[in-house]
């Protein structure tokens, strides 16, 4: 799915990071490695990292950016339950 989103947004020519979140990717190293390999072959300038935050926090960051609120979190000062 990450590759489809990168392609659909026209970002395959650039570089970036994909946040791997969810039960399967967080608990299954083989699944995460497979995803990393597929992304590396298809869009070499992109990387796959474990998500720093829960998907809910990610949604809030996207919403904050969409309304012009910046949308960033200082990890050093975030509550423990915000960072995964």
Tally of CA atoms within 13 A in the half-sphere of 52 that contains its CB? 11
Rounded distance, CA 67 to CA 55, Å? 19
pLDDT 10s digits, 41-83: 999 999 999 888 888 888 888 888 888 876 566 666 555 555 5
For residue range 27-36, list pLDDT tens digits in order: 899 999 999 9
Name the token pair of 79: 């509550």
What's the pLDDT at 68? 80
Q: Kindly report, residue by residue over 4-38, the tens digit of the pLDDT.
A: 999 998 999 999 999 888 888 888 999 999 999 99
The pLDDT of residue 22:
84
Q: Which two tokens stand for residue 15?
A: 């570089």
Q: What is the pTM of this model?
A: 0.64
Token pair of 6 as six digits: 């990168």
């Amino acid at each position: 799915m990450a590759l489809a989103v990168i392609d659909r947004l026209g970002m395959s020519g650039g570089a970036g990071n994909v946040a791997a979140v969810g039960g399967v990717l967080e608990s299954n190293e083989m699944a995460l490695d497979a995803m990393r390999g597929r992304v590396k072959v298809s869009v070499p300038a992109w990387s796959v990292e474990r998500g720093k935050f829960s998907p809910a926090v990610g949604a809030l960051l996207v919403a904050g950016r969409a309304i012009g609120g910046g949308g960033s979190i200082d990890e050093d000062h975030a509550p423990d339950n915000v960072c995964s």
